[in-house]
Structure 1
Amino acid sequence: MGRNQMGTNAAIFRLSPDIFLLILNYLALHDKFLLSHTCKVFRHSTYHDWDNEISRLSFSDRVGFWAGLAYTLPDYWACPKCCKLHIINTSDVPATLNRQQLVPCQADLSRGIGTEMYSIPQYHIQFALKLSRLGKHQQYLGALMKPYTDTRISLLNPLTDSYAAEPKIIKKQFILREEWNISNNTSTTLPLFPENGTFHMPVCPHLGLTSSGLASSRMRKKWDAERLQLRHKMTELEELTLFKEMTLIEDGLAFAFRFPGNWIYNSCLRCTTDIGINVSTDKRKVTVRAWHDFGVEGSPIDTNWSVHVADPLQAWATRGSYMDYTHGSVRTLWMEGISDGTK
């Protein structure tokens, strides 16, 4: 809005110069940039050599600057790879194949799920939260928030496995619930996690099955823990603690088979992810659910997002510190959102 539209009697222009400049000094750099494009008074009051000013920022501050601009622009998202704004592409949705072809700089900003046909990049989350707040591009918002399901016949008949993902915005937070099911729909008794299978379950970057059989998955993680123990000179107790943390899913499944019909709940210690495991009373179906809290609007490199992204170059022991959050709170938030219809 220009000054002529605001009117010469606008309160902001009646302030004394000292107070006027004092207010401007409290503004973030991206706010000053946006303000400088509204009218001559603000353009002169907030004058910067913007190219030089932005180039002097640290990487995190540069990303924050572009994220601040994108906050008010419904058609753009901030890219942490090239530190620029990219325009919206409404054909880019979580179930899109070959997404990198749709991103100008081919940035891979997904959660790194390699075994599912569904993946949510950080800019999808930011778009969903922003469009929900602004009430813009509602058709694209619906496509971003559309539930996804995939059911297929296992390579080991008669087993079937399925995957489902459902995102929701609850209390201005982006929550994703994932569900994996393995079923034996015949009267034949078969192990649901056969050692010669190919089923993978990437619950989060820190937890999941690395191979179908529970024993082989535990063995592979035992080898990983032993290598990390040697590399980082851990004590035996530290190695044991690490191994127990790495195998929460395997232990949870084993416990659920001992008490079929009951839900077994746990949480990841390194990202805001809650887990639920259930084995049917006839032991012919296993359900694993994960509730992820990807946080509120913010920078693409915020911790709330980055802890959910797998980094193949990092050893397991260096994948971030323990998260300080109330375990079970993400699942509770989801249930509260379901009960009150929050979308």
Structure 2
Amino acid sequence: MGHSQMDPNAAIFQLSPDIFLLILKHLALHDKFLLSHTCKAFRHSTYHDWDSEISRLSSSDRVGFWAGLAYTLPDYWACPKCCKLHLINTSDVPATLYRQQLIPCQADISRGIGTEMYSIHHHHIQFALKLSRLCKHQQYLGALMKPYTDTRISLLNPLTDSYTAEPNIITKQFILREEWNISNDTSTTLPLFPENGTFHMPVCPHLGLTSSGLASSRMRKKWDAERLQLRHKMTELEELTLFKEMTLIEDGIAFAFRFPGNWIYNSCLRCPTDIGIIVSADERKVTVRAWHNFGVEGSPMGTNWRVHVADPSQAWATLGSYMDYTHRSVRTLWMEDISDETKSKAQTGILGRKLH
């Protein structure tokens, strides 16, 4: 960014020095940095020893500084690992194999829960929001927002399972809808969730199947709850409450089998994720949907992102990141954004139930 001469008659230079300095005082550091590169007048009025100033920031604020710079730069994104701006790479999309090798410092900035071929990273979300706002790199934006589907034959024939991811930007927020389907299209009586299967469903860091069978998934989470109870000196009631929270998916699937053909809705209690579960009337197919709200543009250190990220150093249900939100709001936002025709079809014959 080069310096240029600004018109001395510009309105901002007609302000009194006190008001002008008051405005500068309330600017974020990254805004002052950008302002200092616009003209000589602003360079002098916003002078800082930038290297020294940035080095004194906390690690979180330092990442926030670079994220603030990236907000206005369509070709760059802020990396929390090396605290630098990385140049755009239009080959780097959520469905890319070996995507980590496309990042200069090979930072893993994904949710950390993906076992699917589709892995959304923080910079994917930020680029999508930014490029839709700046109307730049529209071909890359299209690639970032492209829906993804993967259908597989289970190792336990005749079961098949599929995964679909569909991103959307609604009211300047990045919303991701994921869907898992398990089906048995034959006349055999093989259960949809066999205990000896290998199917996993990482809905969010706090909800999901940890193994194919509902009973074995519950058992693993029971062990996790017991370890957390010992580590954090919980009461028996607190441990039981945590276990019920951890097994909302298992409970939801079991409840859906009691009412086939009807949607069962619930929400994660820790991150902005709404879920819907339905078992077909013939009980040969189960669908689990999740709607995630990753929020508006911001730093990878911000709550909007961190609350969706699994911590590999903790048990899967960590007592850390938590974000209060209105349950059902993400699903409602998604439904309000689709056409009336699609909405009426989606709602026909569906009974929404709240699982308690």
TM bin (shorter chain): over 0.9
Mapped partners of 2:228, 2:3: distance in 1: 61
Give the C-alpha shift of residue 2 in structure 1: 5.8
Task: Pick which of 255-264 and 219-228 moved more.
Answer: 219-228
Partner of 2:232: 232
Q: Is the 8 A contact 1:225 1:239 kept in 2?
A: yes
Give aligned-pair identity as a percent: 89
Partner of 1:85: 85
Tell me the matched-pair count.
340
SS in 2 for 1:18: helix
Partner of 1:207: 207
Judging changes above 3 Å, is the alpha-carbon distance between structure 1 residues 78 and 327 closer, same or farther for their aligned structure 2 residues? same
Q: Is the 8 A contact 1:194 1:213 kept in 2?
A: yes
Partner of 2:347: none
Amino acid in the other structure paired with 1:208: G
Give the C-alpha shift of residue 340 in structure 1: 7.2
TM-score with structure 2 setting the length: 0.92
Partner of 1:53: 53
SS in 1 for 2:150: strand
Give the C-alpha shift of residue 18 in structure 1: 2.8
Amino acid in the other structure paired with 1:301: M
Give the C-alpha shift of residue 322 in structure 1: 4.4
Mapped partners of 2:76, 2:105: distance in 1: 14
- Please list every run of 5 or more consecutive structure 1 residues that lacks an aligned counterpart in the other structure: none
Give the C-alpha shift of residue 320 in structure 1: 2.3
Does the alignment pair 1:189 with 2:189?
yes
Give the C-alpha shift of residue 69 in structure 1: 0.5
Give the C-alpha shift of residue 100 in structure 1: 1.5
SS in 1 for 2:339: helix
Q: Is the 8 A contact 1:275 1:291 kept in 2?
A: yes
Partner of 1:275: 275
Mapped partners of 1:112, 1:8: distance in 2: 52
Amino acid in the other structure paired with 1:324: D
Judging changes above 3 Å, is the alpha-carbon distance between structure 1 residues 234 and 20 closer, same or farther for their aligned structure 2 residues? closer
- Please list every run of 5 or more consecutive structure 2 residues that lacks an aligned counterpart in the other structure: 342-356
Does the alignment pair 1:318 with 2:318?
yes
SS in 2 for 1:119: coil
Partner of 1:111: 111
SS in 2 for 1:188: coil
Task: Pick which of 129-138 and 104-113 moved more.
Answer: 104-113
Task: Pick which of 87-96 and 59-68 moved more.
Answer: 59-68
SS in 2 for 1:198: coil
- Residues 91-170 of structure 1: matches in 2 within 5 Å? 91-170=91-170
Q: Is the 8 A contact 1:153 1:160 kept in 2?
A: yes
Give the C-alpha shift of residue 22 in structure 1: 2.4
TM-score with structure 1 setting the length: 0.96
Amino acid in the other structure paired with 1:197: G
SS in 2 for 1:318: coil
Mapped partners of 2:321, 2:311: distance in 1: 14
Task: Pick which of 152-161 and 108-117 moved more.
Answer: 108-117
Partner of 1:260: 260
Mapped partners of 2:133, 2:162: distance in 1: 33
Q: Is the 8 A contact 2:151 2:162 kept in 1?
A: yes
SS in 1 for 2:23: helix
Task: State the Cα deviation string for residues 82-109 of structure 1 (Å, max 9, x = none).
Answer: 1111110000000011122111111100
Give the C-alpha shift of residue 317 in structure 1: 5.3
Mapped partners of 1:169, 1:307: distance in 2: 19
Mapped partners of 1:228, 1:2: distance in 2: 56
Task: State the Cα deviation string for residues 293-320 of structure 1 (Å, max 9, x = none).
Answer: 0000011111111111111101345332
Mapped partners of 2:271, 2:335: distance in 1: 19
Q: Is the 8 A contact 1:260 1:283 kept in 2?
A: yes
Amino acid in the other structure paired with 2:161: D
Q: Is the 8 A contact 2:92 2:99 kept in 1?
A: yes
Give the C-alpha shift of residue 9 in structure 1: 1.5
Mapped partners of 1:222, 1:134: distance in 2: 48
Amino acid in the other structure paired with 2:11: A
Mapped partners of 2:68, 2:116: distance in 1: 32
Mapped partners of 1:188, 1:58: distance in 2: 60
Task: State the Cα deviation string for residues 242-282 of structure 1 (Å, max 9, x = none).
Answer: 11111100000000001100000011111110000000000
Judging changes above 3 Å, is the alpha-carbon distance between structure 1 residues 254 and 39 closer, same or farther for their aligned structure 2 residues? same
Give the C-alpha shift of residue 324 in structure 1: 1.6
RMSD of equivalent CA atoms: 1.5
Mapped partners of 1:8, 1:309: distance in 2: 48
Give the C-alpha shift of residue 321 in structure 1: 5.3
Give the C-alpha shift of residue 110 in structure 1: 0.4
Mapped partners of 2:3, 2:50: distance in 1: 21
Task: State the Cα deviation string for residues 55-114 of structure 1 (Å, max 9, x = none).
Answer: 011112111111110000000001111111111000000001112211111110001234
Amino acid in the other structure paired with 1:131: L
